Structure 1
Amino acid sequence: MDKITWLTNHTDHSDFILVGIFSQSKQPTLLCVIIFVVFLMALCGNSILILLIHYDVHLHTPMYFFISHLSLMDMMYIFVAVPKMLVDQVMGVNKISAPECAMQMFLYLTLGGSECFLLATMAYDRYVAICHPLHYPVLLNHMVCHLLASGCWFLGLVDGFTLTPITMTFPFCRSQKIHHFFCEVPAIMKLSCSDTSLYERLMYFCCVLMLLIPVAVISSSYYFILLTIHRMNSAEGWKKAFTTCSSHMMVVILYYGAAVYTCMLPSSYHTPEKDMVVSVLYTILTPVLNPLIYSLRNKDVTRAIKKMFNISFKKL
C-alpha cells in the first residue's frame, strides 16, 4: 500500500487514544509519582554506568563495552514512552498522532531487537573470557567488539524497518483506543478491521526466530561455561566465573521472560491488563534494574564508583 493510501486511511481519525496504565489504577497520582521516580533512577543509573565505563581505564574491556551499549539501549527504551505518558497524565491528554505512534513503535522494535542480540553477544563474551582466556584479547579485540555491537544495532533496525511500515498500513476502523500505554504492535493490530491473520503468523515466526537464535547462543555459551567451571579445581575460579556470569543471567531472565510472554504465548493467554503489566516490566523496571545488577554485584564497578566519589570529595 502506498503513502497516499496510508494517509487516506488516517484522514478522518488521525489520532489514537492511549488508554494507559493510569486508567487502571485507583491512585493514578501516586502511580505517576512512582513512575517518575523510577524514570529518574533509570536515567541516572545508566548515565553514571556509561560515564564510569568511558572514563575509567580499568573498565575498558569488551564486557564493559557491551554493558555500556546495554545501558544506552535501556536509557533510550525508557525515554520513548514514559515522558509522554507522564506529561499526558499531568495535562489530562491521552492522544497520540499516527506518525508519533509509528515512530514510537519503530523505536521500541529497534531497541527490543538490538537488546535481544546484544544479550547473546554478551553471553559469547563471557564464554570466550572463561573458556578461552588466552585467546580473549584476539577473539574480542577492539574491531570485533565494534562489529558485534554494530551488528546488534543493525539487526534491531531491520526489525523496526520491517514491521513498523507493514503494521501502520493496515486500516484502523474498529476503534481509536489503544489499550496500552504505548504503541505496541499487538495492541495496534487489534484495532484493524482487515484480515491480519497472515501478517500475525509471519510476525510470530519472525519474533520466534529472533528469540530462538539469541537463546541458542546464550544456552550454548553457558553450557560450555558450566563444563569449564566444572573442570576447575580452584574455588576462587568457581567464585570468579559465577560472579561474572550471574549478573548477565539475571538480566537475561528478566528480559527474555517478558519477551517470551509477549511474542510466543498464544493470544488466548493475553489480556490488555496482563500485556501492560509485562510491558511495564521490560520498558520501565528492567532499565532501572540493569545498572543496579551490574554495579552492586560487580567489584570493578563499585571500585570505580568509590574512586569517582573520592575524587569528587577531594575537589570539594
Structure 2
Amino acid sequence: MRVRGLGAAAVAVGVVTAVAFVLPSTATAQPTIQLPAAAPAPGWAPAGSAELHPGVQTVTTGGGACTSNFVFTSGDRTFIGQAAHCAGTGQATETNGCDSSTMPVGTAVTVQGDRGYTTSGTLVYSSWVTMQQRGEADPNTCAYNDLGLVELDRDAVAHLNPSVPFFGGPTGLSDAGLPAGALTYSYGNSPLRQGVAALSPKAGVSAGDVGGGWGHEVYTISPGVPGDSGSAFLNDSGQAVGLLSTLNLAPLPVSNGVSDLSRELAYANAHGELGTLKLVRGTEPFTATPPGIPLQDIAPPAGPPAGA
C-alpha cells in the first residue's frame, strides 16, 4: 500500500507514520526525455528580499497545504511548482494519479510568502488531472507522476525569486536520476516547523531509483513531515532532480519518495497544453554548505540500514 499524506492538511503525523507502502518491483522501458533549456533569470526580485521563492507554502482550495518546489515559465507566463497530490481530495491511500480524486484545473491556490505576503494563484496544470483525461495506462507514470503548476500574476511575479533558499540553485535540470549513494539536498517548509528556518534545509543520500526512473528513494537526517510535500530536491551539482511525494515506511523505513522532475516536466510539455515549460535557474550559486547552518544539521545520513 502506498500513502501520500505529506501535503494534505487533514492528514495527521500519526497517520502518516503508521502506514507503509510497497514500491513497484517491475520497471517499464524508460522513455526518451527531451529536456527544455532552463530559462534565463531576467528581472527577478532580489533573493534576500523576495517574499516568494521555492519553498513557500501553497494551500489548494479543497486540497491541502504543501511546500512549493521550483519556478517555471512558458512564454510570458510564470508558474511555481507543487505536488499534484496537494489538490487531492481523497484518502491518504489514494496515490495513483490515474484514478485518485482531485480538485480540477482552475482551482484557486493561496501562496503564502515571507513577511506576511500572501497572493492568490491558479492551478493550471495537474499531472493527475492530465493523466486521467488522457487515460494514461503506464503503471509507473500513474504511480509517480506528481507535478502541479500554480500560475502567478504579474504583480506576484514582482515579488518572486527562483533560487532555492539556503542552498541556492537550481543550476539546471538533471535527467540522470539519483543512483544509490548519490547526495541530494532539499528545503522543506511545513507549518509543523513553526517557522524555525534552520529546520528546513537538509541533505540526503539516495537508496536508488524506482519505477523505471520515475521515482527515487532518499534518506535525510529527518524525513519529510506533513506540509513538506512538493519540496525541491537538488543533486550535488545543484541541478533540479525531483520533488517530495511520499514518506515511506516499507520496504525502506522512513525514506522519502521523490518523483523525477525531468520526466514530469517532459510529460507536462507533451500533454499539458501550456506551451514549452522551462525550469528557471536560480540567481544564487549552489552550495552544499549554506552559511549559518551547522554542518551536522545538513550532513547526509549514512544511508538505509544494513539489510534494508
What TM bracket, shorter-length normalisation?
under 0.3
Which structure has the larger Rg over C-alpha atoms? 1
TM-score by structure 2 length? Answer: 0.24
TM-score by structure 1 length? Answer: 0.23
Q: Which has the higher helix share?
A: 1
